[in-house]
Amino acid sequence: MSDPESAGGSSAQDFQAGEAIPFLDALRGKLEERRADGGNLAVLLIECGVISRIDAVWGYHVGDAVRGRVGASLRADVLRPGDLVGEMGRDDFAFVLSTVEGPGVALLAAKKSLRAMNAPFWIGDEEISASPAIGIAMCPADGDQVEVLLQRAKSACTLARDLPGRVAEYEENQENPAASKLLYENRLRTAVAEDALELLFQPQYDLRLGQVMGAESLLCWSDPSLGMVSSEEAFAAAESAGIVPDLLSSILNRALRNISELRYSAGLDLRIGVKLPARALLHTELPDVVQRALGTWSRRPGSLILEIGETSVLGEEAIARETLGRLKELGVKLSIDDAGMALSSLFLLATLPFQEIKIDVSSSRDLAGEAKSERILQSIIELAHFLRLAVVAVGVADEAAAARLKELGCDYMQADFKGPAVDPQGFVERFGFSED
């Protein structure tokens, strides 16, 4: 990269040295000129992607030196006399191409900036490379106010991070992942604080006894602005917001409260399953959250089944395995609910404290007519039993399939043909004891 002293004598250099008017005021002046002459102006928001990490490893004084070198290189190799540059954050630079014929010129400048920033530089004996991304906003097409143009250039920069070319032009209707993520996080915080998360219950049947023995709770988050939000999106928002323990506490308390109400109002003493992503096991406070919820609702630990998906995480994270062990010590039952579990995971499975596994049989609709499918299912069931795992079949098509699964030794099932998941009141109406 260029040495700081090699920068040309432009407005950008003057501003960087602090000898000119502040950047935002300078940008307002350029915008006034474009309003007067009807010309185009481009704002490029450049995220360097490395300076804050250098700060953490080598210190702020080294980060300052690198930032100066990056800025000097860009001023020398990209900007023209009359263009502006400002530092919008520790890793962010804003360029103003004060006069351009159209977006094509701005795009060429962005690509030239990437080439300049992609050149590696050295800190001591370490070769360091930036990972820049650039967003472009045009005046007047994308706005003619300072704050609007900078915000839209930043929005485009956020999109550029995920693009192969690392450059994006602002488009009016483009989705802004950062804004969506923030919205989901804030909405989830509110929903958890107000106990607004609801659950539906999918009945689970004992194939040996032919009766309902439990239910799987399904998160139902309906937001006025977002609509129906999936469980996966809810956990992703909780992860990014740092409120996974709060979300887990809300779900567990709601599930145990509802199942306790079913016991007292309808005479149904059921087990309750709560599905969790495996990454929830990385939160070491999970066993404490579970224990508090069980105590609050006076439930036996064995009546709570934690259904764990994405089991591949368990082989990589020792913390997850330790959390599983602590949950087992509490007396909570642990179930595997991972339709994509690889064969290699079976070896790991033998070392972990699970007591149940869920298998999806929806791809084998005609159990009675498919001998090979039957043999596969029977082998899976026998293997699970050998490992002392109960088997829950999901995606069961009809009564005939349920009967055949029973013959094959399957223990339990969830089945849409028995009816959809329902709220607690609907569960009482379907399965509660009646005085009639």
Confidence (pLDDT) at 6 = 32
Q: How far apart (Å, rounded) are the C-alpha atoms in residues 434 and 425?
A: 14
pLDDT tens by residue, 141-193:
999 899 899 989 998 998 888 888 899 998 876 656 666 777 888 889 998 99
Q: 163 and 280 in one domain?
A: no
Q: 325 and 257 in one domain?
A: yes
* Chain centroid offset of residue 434 CA: 44
Bigger pLDDT: 19 vs 72: 72
Tell me what the mean pLDDT of segment 106-126 comes to: 83
Q: Is the pLDDT of residue 20 over 80?
A: no
Task: Kindly state whether residue 436 falls inside one of the protein's structural domains.
Answer: no
The CATH number that applies at residue 127 is 3.30.70.270
Confidence (pLDDT) at 348 = 72
Q: 189 and 55 in one domain?
A: no
Q: Which of 159, 174, 189 is the last residue of a domain?
A: 174
Ramachandran class of 35: left when φ > 0, alpha when ψ lies in -120 to 50, beta otherwise: alpha
Q: 85 and 59 in one domain?
A: yes
pLDDT tens by residue, 358-399:
998 887 755 555 677 788 888 989 999 998 999 999 989 889
Task: Kindly state whether residue 69 falls inside one of the protein's structural domains.
Answer: yes
Q: pLDDT-based confidence at 7, cuts 50/70/90? A: very low
Q: 238 and 160 in one domain?
A: no
Backbone angles phi, psi at 59, to 5 degrees: 110, 160
Q: pLDDT-based confidence at 18, cuts 50/70/90? A: very low
Confidence (pLDDT) at 365 = 58
pLDDT tens by residue, 286-339:
999 999 999 999 999 999 999 988 777 776 778 888 999 999 999 999 998 877
Q: 386 and 239 in one domain?
A: yes
Q: Is the pLDDT of residue 72 over 70?
A: yes
| Residue numbers of the domain that contains 138 | 4-174
Q: How far apart (Å, rounded) are the C-alpha atoms in residues 66 and 1?
A: 10
Q: 326 and 219 in one domain?
A: yes
pLDDT tens by residue, 243-255:
999 999 999 999 9
The CATH number that applies at residue 306 is 3.20.20.450
Percent of the chain with pLDDT over 90: 33
Q: 192 and 48 in one domain?
A: no
Task: Kindly state whether residue 260 falls inside one of the protein's structural domains.
Answer: yes
Tokens of 329: 């010590």
Ramachandran class of 59: left when φ > 0, alpha when ψ lies in -120 to 50, beta otherwise: left
Length of the chain: 436
Q: pLDDT-based confidence at 10, cuts 50/70/90? A: very low
Low-confidence winner among 14-23, 37-46, 161-170 (lowest mean pLDDT)? 14-23
Q: 150 and 242 in one domain?
A: no
Q: pLDDT-based confidence at 344, cuts 50/70/90? A: low
Helix (H, G, I), strand (E, B) or coil at 101: coil
* Bond preceding residue 140 cis, omega within 30 of 0: yes
Q: 216 and 88 in one domain?
A: no
Confidence (pLDDT) at 342 = 59
Domains of the chain: total: 2
Confidence (pLDDT) at 66 = 84
Q: 170 and 190 in one domain?
A: no
Tell me what the mean pLDDT of segment 73-95 comes to: 85
Identify any residues that bridge with 304 across adjacent strands, giving them in sequence order: 272
Q: 219 and 291 in one domain?
A: yes
Highest mean pLDDT among 53-57, 280-284, 349-353, 372-376: 280-284
Bigger pLDDT: 431 vs 124: 431
Task: Kindly state whether residue 374 falls inside one of the protein's structural domains.
Answer: yes
pLDDT tens by residue, 268-299:
889 999 999 888 999 999 999 999 999 999 99
Q: Which of 174, 193, 212 is the last residue of a domain?
A: 174
Confidence (pLDDT) at 244 = 92
Tokens of 299: 């439930």
Tell me what the mean pLDDT of segment 262-266 comes to: 83
- Chain mean pLDDT for the chain: 84
- C-alpha distances (whole Å) from 111 to each of 19, 115, 232 are 29, 6, 36
Q: Which of 134, 155, 174 is the last residue of a domain?
A: 174
Q: How far apart (Å, rounded) are the C-alpha atoms in residues 436 and 415?
A: 27
